[in-house]
Structure 1
Amino acid sequence: MSRVWIYLFSALCALVLTGVHQVEGMEMFTPSELEAVNGTDVWLKCTFKSTHPLSEERVSVSWSFQPLGNTAGESFFHYQQRAYLPTAGIFKDHAVWSGDIMKGDASITLKNVQFRFNGTYSCQVRNPPDIHGFVGEISLRVVEKVSFSEIGILAIAVGGSIGVVLLILIIYIVVRVFRRQEDDMAVDMENYKSKDQVL
């Protein structure tokens, strides 16, 4: 009988501790996928909710990067009271702080993205004692710039389509106007003939 009580007590403790862990969990919100054109800037949005009051002194933010085809990730950005920008590596002069801790925003911006920036970005926020929770992950895909010739072809195709539609519309309106004038002239002739016959 005592063993049953011990098992019940252990199960109850486990449930209570699990509930505390969930209550004190940090909630993270990030888009799962982003696409950016090579050479442009991209905003890596990461927002969070904490069960404890936010404070610039306590809250810390870490961003890490895992390149495509690589299992190991590397931390490249840190924020606590101020932004610690990367001083070396591929993100030097590319990563800037775009967040606002007091508004639950831990976002950064990558300037002038390159193809080597393809991979998964992880955002982690801590607000002691609220340090448990999910890590926000964003899969970034950097794509080729649209060349001038492709833009020109697209402009010609769109412009040509609009031109054809306008031409058809103008022809339709002109034909309708001429038919109306012919009908009016025919009515006038009939009226003129009728007057002649009466006279």
Structure 2
Amino acid sequence: MSRIWIYLFSALCALVLSGVYQVEGMEVFTSSELEAANGTDVRLKCTFKSTHPLSEESITVSWSFLALGKKTPESIFHYQRTAYPPVEGLFKDHAVWSGDVMKGDASITLKDLQFTFNGTYSCQVRNPPDIQGFSGEISLRVVQKVSFSEIGILAIAVGGSIGLVLLILIIYIIVRVFRRQDNDMGFEMEDHRSKGQVL
């Protein structure tokens, strides 16, 4: 009988602890992929939701960068009460704070993009006692020119089709108007001829 109670107690503890684990968690949201042109600025958007009240004093934001072909990420930006941009290295004068932690925004902006900025950027947010299990990751591709996305191509195709239909409709209306005018003029000339013959 005592073993049954032990099993029941263990199961209850597991349920309670799993419930606490689910409550204590930070949700971080980023876009998975981003493409931007060399020499432009791009905002690395990172938003978060916390189960605890937000406080300027407690929230910390860390951004790291993993370059293509590298195995070890490097810290490139830190925020705690104020922004701490990099003072040396690849991202000096390139990474600036563009978020607002009190609105759940931990974004940074990369200015004057370089091809060496190709890689994966990780955004990690903490709001103790709320902790975050996984960081949001953005894969950035710096290109010579931004290629059209599938949505952009689709929008151009749809817009072009609508424009073509409108053009055909306008031509059709113009042709009909001119034909009607020609017919009206023909009737007037017939009228004049018939009146001349009567006279």
Q: TM range, normalised to the smaller chain?
A: 0.7 to 0.9
Matched, 1:29 2:29: yes
What is the TM-score when the length of structure 1 is the normalising length?
Answer: 0.79
Partner amino acid for 1:8?
Answer: L
Higher mean C-alpha deviation, range 103-112 or range 182-191: 182-191
What is the TM-score when the length of structure 2 is the normalising length?
Answer: 0.79
Identity, in percent, stands at: 74
Alpha-carbon distance in 1 for matches of 2:116, 2:47: 25
Question: Structure 1 residues 185, 54: CA separation in 2 closer, same or farther (over 3 Å shift)?
Answer: closer
* 1:180 CA displacement: 5.2
* 1:90 CA displacement: 0.9
Aligned to 2:90: 90
Instruction: Answer yes or no: is the 8 Å Cα contact 1:28–1:133 preserved in 2.
Output: no
Q: CA RMSD in A?
A: 2.6
> How many residues align structurally?
179
Partner amino acid for 1:37?
Answer: A
Instruction: Answer yes or no: is the 8 Å Cα contact 2:63–2:77 preserved in 1.
Output: yes
Instruction: Answer yes or no: is the 8 Å Cα contact 2:31–2:45 preserved in 1.
Output: yes
Q: Structure 1 residue runs of 4+, over 6 Å off?
A: none
Alpha-carbon distance in 2 for matches of 1:63, 1:72: 14
Aligned to 1:102: 102
Matches within 5 A, 1:84-163: 84-145=84-145
Partner amino acid for 1:81?
Answer: R
Partner amino acid for 2:60?
Answer: S
Gaps (5+ residues) in structure 2?
Answer: 147-162
Partner amino acid for 2:145?
Answer: K
Partner amino acid for 1:132?
Answer: Q
Instruction: Answer yes or no: is the 8 Å Cα contact 2:56–2:81 preserved in 1.
Output: yes
